[in-house]
């Protein structure tokens, strides 16, 4: 199999104005805020089934997600930054999940953990109640496949999310690009 | 002769320079602002330090490492958390009482800062040497319950309301034993002023001098202050597994951070009070009669003594949190009204008798 | 009671009711109107004391429903399976056994939810798994759903 | 209950579906008078995945794997139940080696499950540290599972006719090491939680369930045994050679939260005892009876009971002779154990609710299926 030894960094952008210079202040504030956000992802304690147990394992001493600062799991969506959808989402649960997502303050991130949340599951895709992919309900940032994924996979996924946040832009606003044939 | 430069000399120098450069009133105003900024910076810095220390300590108590990746040994973890909270959206629920909802975190924070006023950090370093210092602290610190009740009521959330009511019942009850525990020392030292109490411990800390009644009072005070802080095992107000987050369920971003900050500030204040009243404040470890030891102890500056004692008590409180399960609300109130309060009242009588007879060391 | 003793007891007590035996349990076929009386007798009789209803479910045979009650006795440790045939598939209703075994409340709720069999005398029949607006009864064999891929 | 009037000073509160103490997505509707619970009503179905319906479309060897996701903490035992039911239909028996492996795996599962329960109980009652101590041994067990079965949580290891593959060479060594460590650590459990005054105050005399109620409500497993009802399937209807090993059915007649707590701790000791007896006596031989690719059961019905970590799991297969089962029904322990919650909650405090839920040890996907 063709394995990329040196994967490229997560697709990011360089924020520059027309003259090609980056705005020092804005881009540094952006860097700072991205640093803070990426290093302090507080997950919502949300788990519906098997994957939730592996999520608990990721919190346990062997895997210890507190090393990355994820250990402040909040029970209320108001104080959470990240919702790890761990487990199957059924049609009855879907409105609840959507509501939880809406209750979270910006900026908020979503990790779809496990096959059930990504596609409806390796087994439950053919069920009358299961939502086939949580991205039908809420936007997802990182997908972690597995049934259930190992705690290492969850940590890797969360690190990928950190990387994604670091390359995102929070305060730089795009100027509308000039059209080439502007009359 | 003392080798170290005491903080008092630094403050005196600043004071004299300001007075020579400006009109005395202006100088006084500048000093007030400086002192305020210093205290706020100190508290924020200590809160950040404490959050980090607590997470590390919790990690070590639970056979794991705690924060590791942000900065060396995860030292910037709490900074990142605070910055993230600052940058996070502050939601105000639609059906809440919006004014009260927004005011509540400020009330709680201001109250907790106010309690810092009469604390003596080192020899002569005190914002306001008020002659009723201990009384002031007990009176003001119980005001925070108003902020908590405001938060719980205005959120329009039943979990918040339950949490706030629990917190109200808890703080109001535990104030009593806490106050009675302080009275023991107040009676023995004969003063309510913080500096007076510290001075009275020049030949030995009260916990040693006052033997049995003060030790009982000290233990009672640690228990009651843990309860007043709403920290485990008395964290019923925010009981995560029962009420999701208690009175601050609906708070997000900076508003939540202010509750968090006030909780930690209260934690410092109560630890500082305990350190001051029972463990001699900035006074070095002195024993009457042992001049060699006393002289040696004097070399360690007062501020080190003070913060050392404070952190010792903070450590105790953190240790409780990561060890004990939570009490139930009726057990919590039973502990206060049926055990702590009678014990404190009898202890006060006992202490009064001892103070009257002069039987302390 | 052993299986044989139980069988002869059932023959004696409930004459006219068909008996069967499968690999695990003796089976007693009961008419749907009599189920409550039979269950009451079995539960309260000193000789049988079937005080533990460990399962209650239904089977959809496309032409009719079959109710299956599995019960055991915590005193004698003998098991029994009671079956009831429900001919009317569109308007199936039979007496609830909830007054005898409190466990039946949830089982019957579940059967109502997934098969659409109603139970008269049940204190609070509701759809416990599906939402109230859900159309159809999923465990019926003719249940249609757009999400289910039939092969 | 539906038409219940809410009095002036009463209010209704919804616990769940997203709530830390419901261990998943159970939703409880509580009627409260201040801190006191007047009545409660569970709402299920937030994780109803239609496993029974899906099983009707899958072959006999396939639908077993759905059951790993039902009670995911007793995955081995659920698989074992289905395999036994199918074996009953085919009238075969697993080879002796496979039976011993199954029992070993089942008991290890029970240990892992009870440890997770113990840690979660600590979390629910507000003590965070036990969680980490519980996961220390749990991770060791999961490592053993992983080596042999290839998976940590949803193993799919036990199959009709035996087990999927042979034990890992290190299995015996690792299990012995685990047992050594566990024996020492059970004492630590006592120091950390069992002996704690607050835990005792929170659990003793709270959440009483009488034996009559337990029987009537259909409770099984540790919940019923803590009320003094003998219901261990391993003793009553032995399967896979449980009649050949020595162990005690732990019983307690108090029926309160602490009885359930104590009982699970004692059950861990019994599981260790069973493993100790078997670990040196794993017979040689084949680990699986070879079956046909597509298994067909003769028409009829088959019921198999096993004892999972939470009680009696019944698998009821109705066959019409085709390659798929006509109807599969799982009588899951948690579904009936949940019944016990309502009578217990009446008159209790909110704080008690948490400790009751913790000692009932509910797994919601097992209720909803």
Q: Tens of pLDDT along C116-128? A: 888 888 888 888 8
Q: Which range marks the domain in which residue A87 is found?
A: 42-166
Q: How confident is the model at residue A7 (pLDDT cuts 50, 70, 90)?
A: low
Determine, for residues D351 and B329 on separate chains, whether the beta-carbon distance falls below 8 Å.
Answer: yes
Q: Cα dist. B360→A41, A69, A172, B206 in Å?
A: 54, 50, 68, 9
Determine, for residues C143 and A126 on separate chains, whether the beta-carbon distance falls below 8 Å.
Answer: no
Task: Give bridge partners of residue D288 from the DSSP assignment.
Answer: D162
Q: What pLDDT sits at residue D364?
A: 86
CATH class of C3-89: alpha beta
Q: Which residues of B touch A40 (CB under 8 A)?
A: 77, 80-81, 83-85
Of B149, B232, B186, nearest to D198 by C-alpha is B232
Determine, for residues D153 and A148 on separate chains, whether the beta-carbon distance falls below 8 Å.
Answer: yes
> Which pair of tokens denotes residue D292?
């046909």
Q: What pLDDT sits at residue D2?
A: 47
Mean pLDDT value across residues B151-160 = 86
Spell out the residues 6+ positions from residue D70 whose beta carbon is closer than 8 angstroms to its own: D51, D78, D330, D332, D365, D366, D369
Q: How confident is the model at residue A14 (pLDDT cuts 50, 70, 90)?
A: low
> Which pair of tokens denotes residue C15?
């004459």
Asked whether the predicted pLDDT for residue D310 surpasses 50, the reply is yes
Lowest mean pLDDT among B91-95, B296-300, C97-101, D281-285: B296-300
What is the Cα–Cα distance from B109 to D246, expressed in whole angstroms?
62
Mean pLDDT value across residues A156-178 = 73
Q: What pLDDT sits at residue D204?
A: 85
For chain C, percent of residues with pLDDT exceeding 90: 0
Radius of gyration of chain A measured on its C-alpha atoms? 19
Determine, for residues B159 and D13 on separate chains, whether the beta-carbon distance falls below 8 Å.
Answer: yes
Q: What pLDDT sits at residue A181?
A: 55
Q: What pLDDT sits at residue B1?
A: 37
Q: What pLDDT sits at residue D10?
A: 78
> Which pair of tokens denotes residue B251?
């708070």
Tell me: the pLDDT tens digits for C24-75?
788 888 888 888 888 888 888 887 788 888 888 888 888 888 888 888 888 8
Size of interface B-D (CB pairs under 8 A): 85
CA-based nearest residue in chain A for residue C143? A128
Mean pLDDT value across residues B149-165 = 86
Q: How confident is the model at residue B2 (pLDDT cuts 50, 70, 90)?
A: very low
Q: How confident is the model at residue B214 (pLDDT cuts 50, 70, 90)?
A: confident
Q: How confident is the model at residue B71 (pLDDT cuts 50, 70, 90)?
A: confident
Q: What pLDDT sits at residue A131?
A: 84
What is the Cα–Cα distance from B238 to C136, expressed in whole angstroms?
43
Tell me: the pLDDT tens digits for D321-345?
888 888 888 888 888 888 888 888 8
Binding-site sequence positions of A for [4Fe-4S] cluster: 50-51, 116, 147
Task: Give bridge partners of residue C95 from the DSSP assignment.
Answer: C120
Q: DSSP character for B326?
A: P
Asked whether the predicted pLDDT for residue B100 surpasses 80, the reply is yes
Number of domains chain A contains: 1
Q: What is the 3-state secondary structure (H, E, C) of chain A?
A: CCCCCCCCCCCCCCCCCCCCCCCHHHHHHHHHHHHHHHHCCCEECCECCHHHHHHHHHHCCCCCHHHHCCCCCECCHHHCCEEEEECCCECCCHHHHHHHHHHCCCCCEEEEECHHHHHCCCCHHHCCCECCCHHHCCCCCEEECCCCCCHHHHHHHHHHHHHHHHCCCCCCCCCCCCCCCCC
What is the Cα–Cα distance from B340 to B332, expressed in whole angstroms?
11
> Sign of the C-alpha dihedral, residues D124, D127, D131, D134?
negative
Sheet holding D327-331, edge to edge: D300-308, D311-319, D327-331
Q: How confident is the model at residue A11 (pLDDT cuts 50, 70, 90)?
A: low
Asked whether the predicted pLDDT for residue D1 surpasses 50, the reply is no
Q: What pLDDT sits at residue D285?
A: 84
What is the Cα–Cα distance from D215 to D336, expressed in whole angstroms?
10
Q: How confident is the model at residue A15 (pLDDT cuts 50, 70, 90)?
A: low
Asked whether the predicted pLDDT for residue C114 surpasses 80, the reply is yes
Asked whether the predicted pLDDT for residue A125 surpasses 60, the reply is yes
Mean pLDDT value across residues D165-177 = 87
CATH class of D11-368: mainly alpha
For chain D, percent of residues with pLDDT exceeding 70: 98
Q: How confident is the model at residue B278 (pLDDT cuts 50, 70, 90)?
A: confident
Asked whether the predicted pLDDT for residue C142 surpasses 70, the reply is yes
Tell me: the pLDDT tens digits for B251-263?
888 888 888 888 8
Residues constituting chain D: 369
Mean pLDDT value across residues D208-216 = 86
Q: Which residues of B touch D124 (CB under 8 A)?
A: 241
Q: Between A48, A123, A129, which is nearest D25 by CB?
A: A48
Mean pLDDT value across residues B74-89 = 84
Q: What pLDDT sits at residue A170?
A: 63
Mean pLDDT value across residues A52-63 = 86
Q: What pLDDT sits at residue B295?
A: 76
Q: DSSP character for D127?
A: -
A136 within some domain? yes
Only one residue has tokens 């938060």, namely: B151
Q: What pLDDT sits at residue A9?
A: 58
Determine, for residues A76 and B55 on separate chains, whether the beta-carbon distance falls below 8 Å.
Answer: no
Mean pLDDT value across residues B318-328 = 85
B328-332 own/partner pairs: CB under 8 Å, 24+ apart: B328/B236, B328/D201, B328/D202, B328/D349, B328/D351, B328/D352, B329/B166, B329/B169, B329/B236, B329/D35, B329/D349, B329/D350, B329/D351, B330/D35, B330/D349, B331/D198, B331/D201, B331/D202, B332/B170, B332/B227, B332/B234, B332/B236
Q: What pLDDT sits at residue B67?
A: 86
Number of CB atoms found within 10 A of residue B349's CB: 11
A183 within some domain? no
Asked whether C and B share 3 or more beta-carbon pairs under 8 angstroms, the answer is no
Number of CB atoms found within 10 A of residue D187's CB: 10
What is the Cα–Cα distance from B9 to D280, expressed in whole angstroms?
76
What is the Cα–Cα distance from C59 to C53, expressed in whole angstroms?
17
Q: DSSP character for D283?
A: -
> Which pair of tokens denotes residue B17?
């320079």
Mean pLDDT value across residues A12-29 = 62
What is the Cα–Cα distance from D64 to D81, expressed in whole angstroms?
9
Only one residue has tokens 């030995």, namely: B204
Are the CB atoms for B61 and D129 separated by under 8 Å?
yes
Task: Give bridge partners of residue D14 from the DSSP assignment.
Answer: D29
Alpha helix positions (H), chain D? 51-55, 64-67, 75-90, 96-124, 129-149, 171-189, 197-203, 211-216, 221-225, 233-236, 257-279, 333-337, 341-345, 350-360, 364-368
Query: Which H helix or E strand runs over B225?
Result: helix B211-228
CATH number at residue A57: 3.40.50.12280
Q: What pLDDT sits at residue B3?
A: 44
Q: How confident is the model at residue A21 (pLDDT cuts 50, 70, 90)?
A: low
Mutate to test the interface with A, among D14, D17, D47, D142 (most CBs of A within 10 A): D47
Tell me: the pLDDT tens digits for D239-249?
888 888 888 88
Asked whether the predicted pLDDT for residue D227 surpasses 60, the reply is yes
For chain B, percent of residues with pLDDT exceeding 90: 1
Tell me: the pLDDT tens digits for D50-89?
888 888 888 888 888 888 888 888 888 888 888 888 888 8
Lowest mean pLDDT among A14-23, B60-69, B125-134, B160-169: A14-23
Boundaries of every domain in chain B:
90-357
Distance from CA of B46 to the nearest CA of D (A): 24
What is the Cα–Cα distance from D14 to D27, expressed in whole angstroms?
7
Determine, for residues C54 and D312 on separate chains, whether the beta-carbon distance falls below 8 Å.
Answer: yes
Of D38, D51, D42, nearest to D7 by C-alpha is D38
* Pairing verdict, β A43-44 and A82-86: parallel
Q: How confident is the model at residue A17 (pLDDT cuts 50, 70, 90)?
A: low
Q: What pLDDT sits at residue C50?
A: 84
Lowest mean pLDDT among A19-33, A150-164, B297-311, D224-238: A19-33
Number of CB atoms found within 10 A of residue D296's CB: 15
Q: What pLDDT sits at residue D89?
A: 84
Mean model confidence pLDDT for chain C? 82
Distance from CA of D77 to the nearest CA of B (A): 29
Tell me: the pLDDT tens digits for D153-164?
888 888 888 888
The chains found to touch B (3+ Cβ pairs under 8 angstroms) are A, D
Distance from CA of D260 to the nearest CA of A (A): 22
Q: Which residues of A touch D142 (CB under 8 A)?
A: 57
Burial class (CB in 10 A: 0-12, 13-18, 19+), B145: buried
Q: What pLDDT sits at residue D3?
A: 46
Mean model confidence pLDDT for chain B? 83
Peptide bond into D278 cis (omega under 30): no
Of A45, A56, A44, nearest to D73 by C-alpha is A56
Of D304, D289, D241, D232, nearest to D105 by C-alpha is D241
Residues on A contacting D at a C-beta cutoff of 8 Å = 44-50, 52-54, 56-57, 59-62, 75, 77, 87-88, 90, 92-93, 96, 100, 123-124, 126-130, 147-148, 150
Of A48, B156, B333, A56, nearest to D351 by C-alpha is B333
Tell me: the pLDDT tens digits for A170-181?
665 555 555 555
Mean pLDDT value across residues D179-187 = 84
Mean pLDDT value across residues B188-217 = 81
> Sign of the C-alpha dihedral, residues D354, D356, D361, D363?
negative
CA-based nearest residue in chain B for residue D35? B162
For chain C, percent of residues with pLDDT exceeding 70: 97
What is the Cα–Cα distance from B295 to C131, expressed in whole angstroms?
78
CA-based nearest residue in chain C for residue D340? C103
Mean model confidence pLDDT for chain D? 85
């Amino acid at each position: 199999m063709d394995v990329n030894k040196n994967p490229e960094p997560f697709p990011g952008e360089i924020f520059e104005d027309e003259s090609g210079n980056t705005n020092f202040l804005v881009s540094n504030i952006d860097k700072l805020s991205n640093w803070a956000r990426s290093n302090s992802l507080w997950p919502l304690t949300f788990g519906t089934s098997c994957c939730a147990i592996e999520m608990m394992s990721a919190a346990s001493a062997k895997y210890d997600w507190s090393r990355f600062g994820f250990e402040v799991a909040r029970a209320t969506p108001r104080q959470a930054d990240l919702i790890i959808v761990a487990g199957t989402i059924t049609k009855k649960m879907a409105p609840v999940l959507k509501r939880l997502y809406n209750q979270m303050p910006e900026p908020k991130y979503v990790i779809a953990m496990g096959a059930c949340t990504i596609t409806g599951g390796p087994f439950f895709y053919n069920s009358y109640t299961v939502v086939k992919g949580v991205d039908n309900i809420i936007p997802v940032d990182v997908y972690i496949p597995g049934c259930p994924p190992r705690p290492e996979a969850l940590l890797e996924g969360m690190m990928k999310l950190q990387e994604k946040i670091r390359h995102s832009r929070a305060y730089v606003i795009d100027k509308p690009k000039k059209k080439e044939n502007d009359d | 002769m003392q080798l170290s430069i005491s903080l008092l000399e630094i403050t005196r120098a600043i004071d004299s320079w300001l007075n020579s450069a400006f009109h005395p009133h202006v100088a006084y105003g500048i000093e007030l602002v400086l002192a305020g900024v210093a205290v706020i910076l100190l508290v924020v810095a200590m809160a950040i330090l404490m959050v980090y220390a607590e997470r590390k300590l919790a990690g070590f108590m639970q056979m794991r490492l705690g924060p590791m990746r942000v900065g060396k040994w995860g030292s910037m973890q709490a900074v990142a958390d605070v910055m993230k909270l600052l940058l996070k959206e502050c939601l105000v629920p639609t059906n809440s009482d919006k004014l009260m909802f927004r005011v509540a975190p400020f009330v709680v924070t201001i109250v907790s800062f106010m309690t810092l006023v009469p604390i003596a950090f080192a020899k002569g370093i005190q914002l306001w040497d008020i002659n009723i210092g201990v009384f002031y602290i007990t009176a003001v610190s119980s005001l925070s319950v108003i902020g908590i009740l405001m938060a719980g009521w205005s959120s329009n959330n039943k979990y918040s309301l339950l949490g706030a009511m629990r917190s109200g019942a808890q703080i109001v009850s535990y104030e009593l034993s806490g106050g009675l525990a302080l009275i023991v020392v107040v009676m023995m030292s004969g003063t309510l002023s913080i500096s007076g109490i510290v001075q009275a411990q020049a030949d030995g800390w009260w916990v040693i001098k006052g033997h049995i009644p003060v030790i009982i009072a000290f233990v009672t005070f640690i228990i009651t202050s843990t309860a007043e802080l709403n920290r485990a095992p008395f964290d019923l107000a925010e009981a995560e597994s029962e009420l999701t987050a208690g009175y601050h369920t609906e708070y997000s971003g900076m508003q939540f951070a202010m509750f968090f900050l006030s909780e930690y500030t209260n934690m410092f204040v109560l630890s500082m009070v305990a350190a001051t009243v029972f463990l001699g404040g900035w006074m070095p470890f002195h024993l009457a009669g042992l001049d060699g030891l006393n002289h040696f102890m004097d070399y360690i500056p007062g501020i080190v003594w003070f913060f050392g004692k404070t952190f010792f008590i903070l450590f105790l409180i953190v240790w409780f949190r990561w060890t004990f399960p939570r009490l139930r609300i009726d057990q919590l109130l039973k502990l206060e009204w049926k055990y702590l309060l009678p014990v404190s009242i009898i202890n006060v009588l006992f202490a009064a008798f001892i103070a009257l007879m002069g039987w302390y060391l | 009671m052993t299986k044989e003793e139980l069988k002869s007891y059932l023959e004696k007590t409930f004459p006219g009711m068909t008996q069967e035996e499968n690999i695990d349990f003796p089976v007693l076929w009961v008419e749907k109107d009599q189920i409550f009386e039979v269950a009451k007798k079995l539960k309260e009789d000193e000789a049988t004391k079937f005080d533990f209803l460990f399962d209650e479910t239904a089977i959809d045979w496309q032409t009719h429903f079959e109710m299956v009650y599995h019960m055991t006795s915590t005193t004698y440790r003998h098991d029994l399976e009671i079956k009831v045939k429900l001919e009317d598939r569109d308007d199936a209703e039979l007496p609830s056994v909830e007054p005898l075994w409190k466990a039946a409340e949830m089982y019957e709720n579940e059967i109502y939810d997934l098969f659409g069999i109603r139970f008269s005398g049940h204190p609070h029949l509701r759809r416990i798994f599906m939402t109230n607006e859900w159309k159809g009864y999923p465990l019926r064999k003719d249940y249609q759903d757009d999400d289910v891929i039939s092969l | 209950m539906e038409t219940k009037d809410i009095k002036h000073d009463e209010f209704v509160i919804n616990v769940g579906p997203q709530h830390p103490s419901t261990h998943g997505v159970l939703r409880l509707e509580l009627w409260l008078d201040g801190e006191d619970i007047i009545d409660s009503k569970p709402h299920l179905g937030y994780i109803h995945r239609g496993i029974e319906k899906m099983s009707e479309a899958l072959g006999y060897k396939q639908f077993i794997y759905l059951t790993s996701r039902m009670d995911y903490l007793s995955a081995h035992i659920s698989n074992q139940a289905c395999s036994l039911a199918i074996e009953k239909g085919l009238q075969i028996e697993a080879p002796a080696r496979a039976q011993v492996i199954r029992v070993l795996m089942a008991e290890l599962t029970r240990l892992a499950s009870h440890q997770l329960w113990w840690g979660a109980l600590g979390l629910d009652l507000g003590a965070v540290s036990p969680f980490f101590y519980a996961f220390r041994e749990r991770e060791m067990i999961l490592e053993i599972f992983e080596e042999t079965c290839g998976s940590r949580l949803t193993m799919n290891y036990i199959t009709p006719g035996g087990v999927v593959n042979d034990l890992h060479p290190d299995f015996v060594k690792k299990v012995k090491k685990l047992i050594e460590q566990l024996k020492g650590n059970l004492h630590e459990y006592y120091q950390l939680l069992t002996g704690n005054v607050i835990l005792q105050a929170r659990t003793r005399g709270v959440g009483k369930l009488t034996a009559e109620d337990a029987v009537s409500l259909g409770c099984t497993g540790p919940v019923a045994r803590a009320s003094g009802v003998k219901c261990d399937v391993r003793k009553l209807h032995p399967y896979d050679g449980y009649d050949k090993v020595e162990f005690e059915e732990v019983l307690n007649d108090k029926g309160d939260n602490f009885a359930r707590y104590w009982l699970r701790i004692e059950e861990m000791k019994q599981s260790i005892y069973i493993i100790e007896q078997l670990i040196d006596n794993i017979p040689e031989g084949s680990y699986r009876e070879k079956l046909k690719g597509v298994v067909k059961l003769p028409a009829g019905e088959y019921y198999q009971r096993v004892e999972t970590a939470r009680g009696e799991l019944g698998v009821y297969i109705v066959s019409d002779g085709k390659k798929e089962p006509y109807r599969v029904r799982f009588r899951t322990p948690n579904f009936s154990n949940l019944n016990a919650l309502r009578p217990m909650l009446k008159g209790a405090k909110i704080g008690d609710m948490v400790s009751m839920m913790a000692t009932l040890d509910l797994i919601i996907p097992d209720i909803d299926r």
